[in-house]
Chains A and B, each alone.
Chain A
């Protein structure tokens, strides 16, 4: 009977250590190259997501803007923050593209059309990506060491994940009847 107490205590310690430590073991994380605030940009530069995350004429989605878009305003320092000074010294002056990590990249065999969802389906950006426009800091990018996928595909509170099950769930709710064929979404 006395042996049970150390066993339970040991199990509790081991489990909580595993619970806390496992994400560090399975995910490697790195910071984004630039300390970027969506909130500041939403207030001062563009009110809509599409102002920076634009569509091309053929309907393809440009995703994270390239340096050209940034230098449109930041050819020289506009403010006095250290983050902006660092951005201009490191990227704008040497004309070097920041190596942004995309939180929501789909695997190679998935065909996802942003414009079909945004324009035809009237889905808001926030529905899948969360309310990024009001965030002040970019979270560290976490990548599964085995699969190489971003941790963000599992979703968080208030934002669904971006796994195949999540796609299918939403499509079923809308009664879209788009599940005739794998190649409807896969390529």
Chain B
């Protein structure tokens, strides 16, 4: 089997912030309804749609939605290099950064190291409302309290695709046989998935697009999630200025606040909305 380098291209201009990817992800990966004691920082969302704006006031204000998931860094993968348990590895055959919950001791060093806030800690044991266990995905093991988890490009689907290929007598997976849940769920086709090593794949082409960018590319972590936007101000979000060093965009715009693109990007979309709607609790979910 030739080595793959799975990656994504996300067209920010196409994302309308509906959140279907977040729902599909949670269902696919057996993420339980939020515990009653949960708050914005403790919830688990392997993919999270952030709302960003250009910092201007009406009528110049422009907004965009940016889905952020594990960026599957290929170089100096920050989470893998800090893990004291070797619970994180980068598969050279697929490029997928995998998290092994059974090895994780819960120190959360990886969460501190991750520049993308793409890792989540299980503060509570997973509990599903009675009867909902039957809807769990058998290809994904539920995680226990006290471990970190994150996006693994729906690895259960890769297993299933490999198994289907084996039934057909081959080891090679055809493009399209393996697609993560968020990609499948996106109604506008903003998220595309493919093999970056395959020059003919849509993702590889999108990565070379002139409007393509990656988040915090200057860190040199070689992320495999390529974003794309025709708007200059969106592209500049990715190369967020260092705190304390004025970026040309920031000149004359003080004080630094939640309107700063970096701060806005790294704070959840909900916090920029005035209604501080909490995540649904287990009880609420139970009663519809």
Contact = CB atoms under 8 A, between A and B. Distances in A.
B224 to A, nearest CB: 15
- Taking residues whose C-beta sits less than 8 angstroms from the other chain, chain B's interface range is 20 to 34
B166 A59 contact: yes
Interface in A69-114: 108-109, 111, 113
Interface string A5-28: 000000000000000000000000
Interface residues of A, number: 20
Contact of A181 (B89, B156, B169): B89
Interface string B130-169: 0000000001111000000000100110011011111101
A59 B171 contact: no
A173 interface: no
A120 B91 CA distance: 21
Contacts of B171: 120
Contact of B152 (A59, A113, A183): A183
B156 A187 contact: yes
Contacts of A186: 100, 102, 141
Contacts of A146: none
Interface of A: 55, 57-60, 108-109, 111, 113, 115-116, 119-120, 180-184, 186-187
A182 B90 CA distance: 9
Contacts of A113: 159, 162-163, 166
B91 A115 contact: no
A180 B92 contact: yes
Given A59-B164, A59-B167, A119-B169, A184 B139 contact: no
Contacts of A60: 163
- Residue of B90, B102, B140, B162 with highest tally of chain A CB at under 10 A: B162
A187 B155 contact: yes
Given A120-B171, A187-B159, 17 more contacts: A57-B167, A58-B163, A60-B163, A119-B167, A119-B169, A180-B91, A180-B92, A181-B92, A181-B93, A181-B96, A181-B98, A182-B100, A183-B89, A183-B96, A183-B98, A183-B100, A187-B139
